[in-house]
Amino acid sequence: MLKAAFKKYTLNFKRPSGTSRGILTQKDSWFIFVWDEFDPLIKGIGECGLLKGLSIDDRPDYGKKIIEVCNNIQNHQKYIDKGLKGFPSIRFGLEMALKDLHSKGRKILYDSSFTEGKDAIEINGLVWMGNFDFMKKQIIEKITSGFKCIKFKIGAIDFNKELELLNNIRKEFSINDIEIRVDANGAFLPEEAMDKLNCLSAYDLHSIEQPIKQGQWEKMAELCKKTPLPIALDEELIGISEIPQKTKMIESIKPQYIILKPSLVGGFKASEEWIELAEQNKIGWWVTSALESNIGLNAIAQWTYTLMNKMPQGLGTGQLYTNNFGSPLNIVKGKLYFDPSKGWDLNNLI
């Protein structure tokens, strides 16, 4: 007989972190605990990683839905299959907790060479928005610490300043030295987007994420058709849960890449549906975490490794917080490692 409970936990950023949607200083996660009533010491833990203003399940009844799921945990498969379509982060948290319980609470959701500490996942170094000097400092730090791929968010400071940053990077580091991705988070207006893409294309970028706001399929399709640099969609995937909808979006827009954020699209199974559709349509993809704690990051990283995608993944956000949980995860020279000799420190949570 399964039992379940939950706990809300507020993660505090080490420094205010800027996006095109504003400055982040805190981020809430809800953790679901699942156990067998006959063995209550072994608990599976799943993280419901909600992003305010972005997640489709950022709604007033979010807490009530978690309570409902915990009170009806015997029906967990029904919730995963159909009952949480409008609550992708809860669906993912529940999926994660059940997999962790199956692992006897070891946080080993997917056994692999990664969890054995024999292999690592190459990741991009994330540069946060800020003033020119702050962003330049971050870029230098990422490159000197061994990252071969950096991603920085654009759209918050003057566009010409952002181009100057890119120009400075390319003066010192060629496309063979460092791969550059940029993320606009929908900051460009449709009528200016193509001009800005043309300007950005001069700097040998790998891709740009979500140049215009999601939901403008015709305009996005036109951009993807004519763009001088590859376009990757992430926000565009949010809120699309049924396979016919996913198929229609992919075939209508025809992006060069899609980006999977399990907390935002509904977990592992939902992400795998997107991947299958992308591959059928010869569209590239990679996986990105979405500001989860190390618990969520651990689950996403283990799953990502099993997909055997050799592109740099976006899994490096676990170091952002002052009160994150001690874990076996570690970043060395632009790669994410799992050290099986290290344990978990969950004293603040349990």
b/e per residue, 240-265, with b = 16+ CB within 10 A?
Answer: bbeeeebeebbeebebbbbbbbbbbb
What is the secondary structure of 10-62 as a DSSP string? EEEEEEEEEETTEEEEEEEEEEEEEEETTEEEEEEEEEEE--TTTSTT-STTH
Three-state secondary structure call for residue 129:
strand
SS3 content of the chain, % helix, strand, coil (to 5): 40, 25, 35
**Among this protein's residues, is 153 annotated catalytic?**
yes
Q: Which residue blocks in the chain are alpha helix, DSSP H?
A: 62-71, 76-78, 88-102, 132-144, 159-172, 190-200, 217-226, 243-253, 262-265, 268-280, 294-307
User: Rounded distance, CA 95 to CA 188, Å?
Assistant: 35
Q: Of 153, 196, 246, 335, which one is the catalytic site residue?
A: 153
| Nearest residue to 72 via CA among 56, 50, 94 | 94
Q: Of 27, 99, 261, 335, which one is the catalytic site residue?
A: 261
Question: Would you say 170 and 206 are in contact if contact means Cβ atoms under 8 Å apart?
Answer: no
Question: Would you say 264 and 237 are in contact if contact means Cβ atoms under 8 Å apart?
Answer: yes
Main-chain phi, psi angles of 16, to 5 degrees: -55, 130
- Quick one: tokens of 217? 């399929």
The amino acid sitting at 19 is T
Catalytically annotated residues: 153, 261
